[in-house]
Structure 1
Amino acid sequence: MTVRNLDKLFKPASIALIGASRKPGTVGAVVARNLFQAGFDGPVMPVNATERAVEGVLTYKTVDSLPITPDLGVICTAPDTVAATIDALGKRGTKAAIVMTNGMSADQTQAMLDAAKPYLMRVLGPNSLGAMVPGRGMNASFAPVAPRKGDVALVAQSSMVLTSIADWATSRGIGFSHLVSLGDRGDVDFGDLLDYLASDVTVRAILLYIESITHARKFMSAARSASRQKPVIVIKAGRSDEAQEAAASHTGALAVSDAVYDAVFRRAGVLRVNDLAELFDAAGTLGTGVPITGDRLAILTNGGGMGVMATDKLIQAGGQLAAMAPETQEALAKALGPQPGGAPFRNPLRIGADATPKRYAEALNALMQDTSNDAVLVLHCPSALTDSEAIAQAVAETVQANKARRHPVLTSWIGDQSAVEARKLFADARIPTYNGPSDAVRAFMHLVRYRRSQQLLMETPPSVAEDFQPDEITVKKVVSRAMAEKREWLSEYEAKRVLAAYGIPVVDTRVAETPEEAATAARVIGGPIALKILSHDITHKSDVGGVALGLTSPEDVKAEAEAMLARVAELAPEAKIEGFTVQEMAVSPDAYELIVGMTENEMFGPVLLFGEGGIGVEVVEDYALALPPLNMKLAAEQMSRTRIHRQLQGFRSRAAVDLDAVALTLNKVSQLVVDFPEIAEMDINPLLADANGVMALDARIKVGVPALAGAARLAIRPYPKALEDRITIKDGRQFLVRPILPEDEPLVHHLVENQTAEDLRLRFFAPLKRLSHQAAARLTQIDYDREMGLIAVGPDPQTGDTIMYGVVRITADPDNRRAEYAVMVRSDMKGQGLGYILMNKILDYARSRGIREVYGEVLRENTNMLNMCRALGFVRKENLDEPGVVEVRIELGGGLAG
């Protein structure tokens, strides 16, 4: 991932158009017209070997004959000329190019990239419509419309979608900061542009039109980083595509590609929408900065029907009608008069077709004071009895009067001509407004969903409820044996051994080769027995009569085993039968049947599934997907997205399920998948869950040689356990140094609380008493692909609790060339060498990642830090802009990491 030289693509001082033309209808002619007419403040140099002038500007015959080196080259020439043109531009010193040429073969595209590489030139395309930056007067595209200037960036994979969106938005007065057509994504892709646009202060929101994603981990890292800084909203084409070819497991059949994209966007904190109107509504709503704290909506309306429509839409979308506090009831009764018969006011609050501006203002003021709702939606229907614009003015003034409370208010003035001035008034006051109640409720739910995704990025997960040490040796033996025997599927017995090795409870299961051995095993187990056929050739045993439940005696088991052999021989004559599995029947009348599984997605690697289990799982289709690695918070969130989750919390006389045990099982499966890339697909179905915990009754696991080794196949880089190490400081105390985890937020707060005020000032450049949750979460919830934090932990001498004694971190730029460091050690640990040890470890890690330079800013008076940096080999650079601050940096050498 890199933003290297993208400023030359979007902020060029000069542009060369290679393939400029006067021939009407050609790409070269349209691009020339757009470039010269957009108001670009810099030279645009057309290159054409046969034309004397284009758009009234003299042309140059070749790139070599250009009078100055262009920052950006725009190429509209034949496919077989592109690589040579890129090479010529590179030799001149050009750092960015847009290749609009289509029809390039794979070999020609690779030749283009090979030509750009020695010059670190960035290439947008091939087959790109181009790039537009209206605020800079740059229209390097063959788009038919000139977009307005704005603060929304749009990146689209499809050229035609880009022009359609630009046309749609321009006709509605919507402007853009950037419009970018990726084309065939030979070099610049979604990840690069997310990184670049996230750091651009002219961009308020980022809109994406995606058909597919390349470089999954790069996209995930960039999207997670960008969405922490500003709204990222996406339309993903292909919701209705046919599912991927069904796999042998239930999980493989359920985890279709579009559902995986939903999981990807959710994990990245990206908001997914369905159409253009929703895309720009979401961008407008989120861009206002309206703060939402929950999903409880109060509705104020002068028309009952519109209130009902809004309510229906709210409930369908998963929101809630807000209750009204007693104080609100009193305020409304005073403002509006008591209800007939003393009945309470209800939500939606209907205030009559003749509602005056004063009535609207007083009702809205009461609702805005009520903490029982999270937002207020104000609806107005046209009425001959009222002044629509005056009511809008009263609403705007009420919102302004309550500005300090920042209580969210959304509006919808229904109608056409009668609503125009009201909508303009709300737009000028930066109050979100929508054409209809359904649009307004949808916008409210955008805010709710966005808040939830941001919370998921920032919430501190609870500590894992159970420390488990997986038996990796047993799993490795089982998996290696199956692969040596060229078997794709483990037997049920083997699969349960794997689960048990990772601390997942399984029923007592034994293998028997004959009906007689099955009876003997049943006698040893005792109680009701489940008998299943054992065959590597049969995946779904119940489909061929290979499952019998509730057998009560060894004699029944023997008889059923003999009958089962006959049934299976008839229904699956080609299957090789190894025998039977004999297992205890788990008796729990109140238990739920769940499914936990995993499958491989071609782009994003392993995907985890949770949902309602049993034999009808593919019919019920109540499931949720998530990307590993998980923690307890992420597992709980995944579970909450299923319908069965509400039942698991208990109702009537049925006790609630031990949800922590279910979440922990998801965590253990996630860890198993991370540790063993050979596991390609798996199901635990059913996983019985009740108030006492969980029990795996059946399991299937598919193994094979992974396409990518180790963690490389994961879209999100997992916890790097290999960096764990034991260290000893000068006084002989030992600590564990390990990568920081989201669960470590309490340790960060404890570390800060045990610093002197002076040490905190030196570290944070200002007086500080404590870190906010957001700041601590940002320090602990890191992307291991871009950042690294190493902490030294050990026991507290007084309590024995594990505490943090020091932390060091680096944050690399998207190019992975430079990284900024920060280090902090407990004030009472000074002089023990802990800071020096941590710095050496983070520098070693930076070298291993190919980072060339590590730097930091240090207060000039922080002599201890400056002395340590000098001892480590850092050099000082005086900061002329800030005389009290010194920059220190160290060159690490080496090339860029891939």
Structure 2
Amino acid sequence: MKEKHYLSPLLEPKSVGVIGASERENSIGHVVVRNMLDAGFRGRLFAINPKHESVLGVPCHKTVEDVPHRLDLAVIAVPAEKVLTVVESCGRAGVKAIIILSAGFSESGPRGATLERHVVEAARRYRIRLLGPNCLGIMRPELGLNATFAHVSALKGTIGLISQSGALVTSILDWAKPSNIGFSTVVSLGSSSDIDFGEILEFMISDPRTESIIMYVEGIRDARRFMSALRGAARVKPVLLIKVGRHPQGARAIRLHSGSVSGDDAVFDAALRRAGVIRLYNMGQLFAAANALFAHFRPRGNRLAIITNGGGPGVMAVDRAADLNIPLSEFSEATMEKLNAILPHGWSRANPIDMLGDADVERYQKTVQAVLEGPNVDGVLVMLTPQAITDPTAVAQAIVEVERTADKPVVTCWMGDELVREGRKAFEAAGIPTFRSPEPAVELFSHLSAYYRNQKLLMQTPASLSHLKPPSIESARLVIETALAERRKVLNEMESKALLAAFRIPIAQTVVARSATEAMVLAEEIGLPVVMKIDSPSIIHKADSGGVRLNLGSLAAVRTAYQEILEDVRRNKPDAAINGVAIEPMILKRNGRELVVGVRRDPVFGPVITFGEGGNRVEANKDLAVALPPLNNYLVHDLIKSSRVASLLGEFRTMPPVNMEALEFVLLRVSEMVCELPWITTLEINPLIVDEHGAVAVDARVTVENVSPSVDRYAHMAIHPYPSQLTSTWTQPEGTIVTIRPIKPEDAELEVEFVRKLSSESKYYRFMNTMRELPPAMVARLTQIDYDREMAFLATIPGEDGVTEVEVGVCRYAVNPDGESCEFAVVVADDWQHRGLARKLMGVLIETARNKGLLYMNGVFLANNERMLKFVQGLGFVLSSDPEDSTVKLGVLALQD
């Protein structure tokens, strides 16, 4: 039995009322009623307007309270100043969801923002869900639902479209119709004052009609819910996304349009990569990618082979590939032998393959076949310019035949117009992406191949803390609490380094001198040569204020430097508070690379980690790589590889490669700091000097602020870490140790094998059918979970080899969209039943849900599963019959006293 989604009244309504329905041509109320009638809405439609007896043949009621039927959905098309009264009326009439098409709210200034707030408060008071205001509405073509004022409709199909711009929706629908591309759901969010991306995405995850999702994003309000839903959607369906407001001018325009905060674009980009989605930058790319997905275009890597009959176009494609960091395939010896046998002596003998201007159908066909069959190739771009001997249409038909049996994607570029038109039509009919110029063809391959790279990032579930060299979180907290108790938000260098040391990051020892004599004593203790730096909470860049002296090799030099630093700083920064002068050993690493590792707070996504070239070049080179924590080894490696400084970390001139393990260790520890210390607002390690022997943090600066205590220890983060702290063990009477731990994506094979060995009865009671094996999509859904929205615990025992694990039980809950309750399931291997494992697993699950602050745990059970019914009653569940299905029992457990 599939429970109705709580947004069903909005997206699957049985009854709809149009408030503001009108007989006036082209008025919003008129267009909505006409659209509903033209779409053939299957439910009951009501018009509401005191000025009309009927609208387009639909009987009209004076108010929503006069409608002789409780409405699932009310579409409001009245002036903004009347909306609050209408919403109150909807509340009294028992309406479950409303769409406010009207403009004139937060986008129109403070007065409109106040009105919007009152409207939202009224809707919440009556438990009404609200879409908008200032939106185009929604479409569900399969249901005959077109509750919009658009002048274009959507065809039935499998794409879900969510947009913050109604104008973009109409443009996309206008493009899609002649291309015969259809939609399962179209949602215009408008101001997102209540329902936002996250909830619509959650609906589309479970919607069987939706196979892929297109999103137009200006800004988001709830990063955790957005990322949670986006990652959940991208695990099971391709997601294409256009994000605007990449520059400050665009961000300002967005605030005026929808009131959204767009945040730093580099951070948003990092979030999308981590969410496993395809980011696009313009409508042309969106249409091309949607077409390709619609044709089931599935790249599996990013190494591109280019085949052309003209050198110039091939170079254009290579240039664009280089811009996008798309590597060209390096052909194997076997592939080169095949190509040498196929192609004339003067061919390019490299990628791109220039077949020369006299290439005919056979040469094209054999060349494309040879390249597709070879290793090191993830996709092929086939290009053609209409030259005298070449037949563009015949070549296109040959490529179509080759592509039918290919297991790698083929993109085509037939340059020109009249002579190549029929060839392009052949590609379109076969679902092969085709372009007029090389650049967009390479861009399409780049975007869709990046999707599969990003899917690997999506699979990563780093823990908040590693088990090797555990940090001293308590000492780090004490440093922060001491500073905050003294009403300081900027930690001095010694305190900042104390935080790093607590997380086992190697540091250069620092002490602070408050006189020239003390400076000499401390320098002698540390050992010459030393570095001296001003210690001031007011000064970020010490060198700019004259507050740094390097490589001081004598005590006389130390004494002189102390006086000079104070004089220079007082002259350059007269208002700066000075604590003293910090002294540390001079780190001399002949092969060292100066790097910077940072943490900053994004207004949307919270803490992010930055990495790049350090030293004095940080300000000049702001192009730092960005990643969202938590990180693991795979994600750290990806962060380093995506930075511009990556090329300097290997063997460089006379320098050996750096110790990558030491660098990765520092980045992992910074990620742990971000997870466990929510007080940190900024952190900068600059320089972090790394050479072939290791890494050392020479200078560090941390700022902190007070945070409110939260039930969720990771509430400050957009992505919930793997909750390793929930792992426990349970010893059986005969000595078998059972490990109970949260599930991970790597557990896919364990899950498949576990379900495979279940008896038919156990499978039936768990899945309500007797499937032999879990389908791949279900395996992904069960193992790749978001720990913020759901939790699953495996019970495992050691395998016969003592190394591998064997799954003997699993339990899970999924938080309902109301955020207050969850659905649970539990199943135990047949040979482990009657041993107390199910009760132990349920105890862990219930306690976890209780600690999360959930109020209720719900379950759905087969009425004939007497053993399960007795078991859950023993746990305290209250059972009731399902009013719609006599074969099912419903259970509810109150989690809070």
- Same fold by TM-score, threshold 0.5 exceeded? yes
Count of residue correspondences: 874
The verdict on how the C-alpha distance between 1:327 and 1:42 changes in structure 2, with shifts beyond 3 A counting, is same
Query: How far apart in 2 are the matches of 1:790 and 1:331?
Result: 53
Query: How far apart in 2 are the matches of 1:289 and 1:146?
Result: 24
The verdict on how the C-alpha distance between 1:769 and 1:579 changes in structure 2, with shifts beyond 3 A counting, is farther
Match of 1:202 in 2: 209
Q: Is 1:633 the equivalent of 2:637?
A: no
Q: Is 1:76 the equivalent of 2:77?
A: yes
Q: Pick the aligned partner of 2:152 from 120, 145, 148.
A: 145
TM-score, normalised relative to structure 1: 0.88
Cα deviations by residue, 1:328-372 (Å, 9 ceiling, x for unpaired): 233334444x525xx883222223333332222222211121122
The verdict on how the C-alpha distance between 1:159 and 1:460 changes in structure 2, with shifts beyond 3 A counting, is closer
Q: Is 1:686 the equivalent of 2:671?
A: no
Cα deviations by residue, 1:402-433 (Å, 9 ceiling, x for unpaired): 24xx2221222222233333223222222222
Match of 2:138 in 1: 131
Query: How far apart in 2 are the matches of 1:111 and 1:240?
Result: 32
The verdict on how the C-alpha distance between 1:469 and 1:432 changes in structure 2, with shifts beyond 3 A counting, is same
Deviation of 1:264 (Å):
1.7
Unpaired segments ≥5 residues, structure 2: 106-111, 253-261
Pick which of 661-670 and 845-854 moved more: 845-854
The verdict on how the C-alpha distance between 1:888 and 1:332 changes in structure 2, with shifts beyond 3 A counting, is farther
Match of 2:162 in 1: 155
Deviation of 1:779 (Å):
4.9
Cα deviations by residue, 1:32-91 (Å, 9 ceiling, x for unpaired): 333333443444322111123322433222223324333321111233433443343344
Q: Is 1:836 the equivalent of 2:836?
A: no
Paired residues of 2:263 and 2:603 also in contact (CA < 8 A): no
Deviation of 1:493 (Å):
0.8
Amino acid at match of 1:193: I
Paired residues of 2:219 and 2:263 also in contact (CA < 8 A): no
Q: Is 1:606 the equivalent of 2:612?
A: no
Deviation of 1:829 (Å):
6.0
1:497-896 map, 5 Å: 497-706=498-707, 709=710, 710-720=713-723, 723=726, 727-731=730-734, 737-740=740-743, 745=746, 757-758=757-758, 762=762, 779-791=782-794, 807-816=810-819, 819-823=822-826, 832-848=835-851, 849-850=853-854, 852-855=856-859, 868-869=871-872, 871-872=874-875, 890-893=891-894
Kindly report the root-mean-square deviation, in angstroms, between the aligned alpha carbons of the 2 structures. 3.7
Match of 1:273 in 2: 280
Cα deviations by residue, 1:237-279 (Å, 9 ceiling, x for unpaired): 111216999xxxxxxxxx9712121122122112221111111
Query: How far apart in 2 are the matches of 1:202 and 1:750?
Result: 30
Paired residues of 1:5 and 1:122 also in contact (CA < 8 A): no
Q: Pick the aligned partner of 1:372 from 376, 391, 397.
A: 376
**SS of corresponding position for 1:670:** helix
Cα deviations by residue, 1:651-676 (Å, 9 ceiling, x for unpaired): 45422222232222222112212222
Match of 1:85 in 2: 86
Deviation of 1:510 (Å):
1.6
Q: Pick the aligned partner of 2:266 from 247, 253, 259.
A: 259
Q: Pick the aligned partner of 2:345 from 316, 339, 356.
A: 339
1:256-405 map, 5 Å: 257-336=264-343, 339-340=345-346, 345-400=349-404, 402-403=405-406
Query: How far apart in 1 are the matches of 2:775 and 2:14?
Result: 42
Deviation of 1:642 (Å):
0.3
Pick which of 525-534 and 709-718 moved more: 709-718
Amino acid at match of 1:203: T
Query: How far apart in 2 are the matches of 1:9 and 1:99?
Result: 12
Cα deviations by residue, 1:167-203 (Å, 9 ceiling, x for unpaired): 4555666543333221111221111111122332333
Query: How far apart in 2 are the matches of 1:41 and 1:755?
Result: 41
Deviation of 1:735 (Å):
6.2
**SS of corresponding position for 1:320:** coil
Deviation of 1:544 (Å):
1.0
Amino acid at match of 1:606: P
**SS of corresponding position for 1:615:** helix
Pick which of 268-277 and 467-476 moved more: 467-476
Query: How far apart in 2 are the matches of 1:597 and 1:775?
Result: 39
Q: Is 1:185 the equivalent of 2:188?
A: no
Cα deviations by residue, 1:202-242 (Å, 9 ceiling, x for unpaired): 33322212111011111010100111122212221111216
Cα deviations by residue, 1:78-112 (Å, 9 ceiling, x for unpaired): 33433443343344443222111222434433443
Cα deviations by residue, 1:470-501 (Å, 9 ceiling, x for unpaired): 21222222112211221121110111011101
Deviation of 1:801 (Å):
8.9
Percent identity over the alignment is: 38
Unpaired segments ≥5 residues, structure 1: 246-254
Amino acid at match of 2:241: V
The verdict on how the C-alpha distance between 1:385 and 1:794 changes in structure 2, with shifts beyond 3 A counting, is closer
Match of 2:433 in 1: 432
Query: How far apart in 2 are the matches of 1:500 and 1:585?
Result: 18
1:13-24 map, 5 Å: 13-24=14-25
Paired residues of 1:751 and 1:826 also in contact (CA < 8 A): no
Cα deviations by residue, 1:604-637 (Å, 9 ceiling, x for unpaired): 2111111111112121123111222222222222
Query: How far apart in 1 are the matches of 2:505 and 2:642?
Result: 23
Query: How far apart in 1 are the matches of 2:596 and 2:528?
Result: 25
The verdict on how the C-alpha distance between 1:40 and 1:869 changes in structure 2, with shifts beyond 3 A counting, is closer
Query: How far apart in 2 are the matches of 1:756 and 1:875?
Result: 32
Query: How far apart in 1 are the matches of 2:213 and 2:729?
Result: 44
Match of 2:484 in 1: 483
Q: Is 1:236 the equivalent of 2:239?
A: no
The verdict on how the C-alpha distance between 1:132 and 1:599 changes in structure 2, with shifts beyond 3 A counting, is same
Deviation of 1:148 (Å):
4.2
The verdict on how the C-alpha distance between 1:397 and 1:171 changes in structure 2, with shifts beyond 3 A counting, is closer
The verdict on how the C-alpha distance between 1:365 and 1:734 changes in structure 2, with shifts beyond 3 A counting, is closer
TM-score, normalised relative to structure 2: 0.88
Amino acid at match of 1:539: I
Deviation of 1:5 (Å):
3.9
Match of 2:258 in 1: none
**SS of corresponding position for 2:616:** coil
Q: Is 1:215 the equivalent of 2:222?
A: yes
Deviation of 1:530 (Å):
0.9
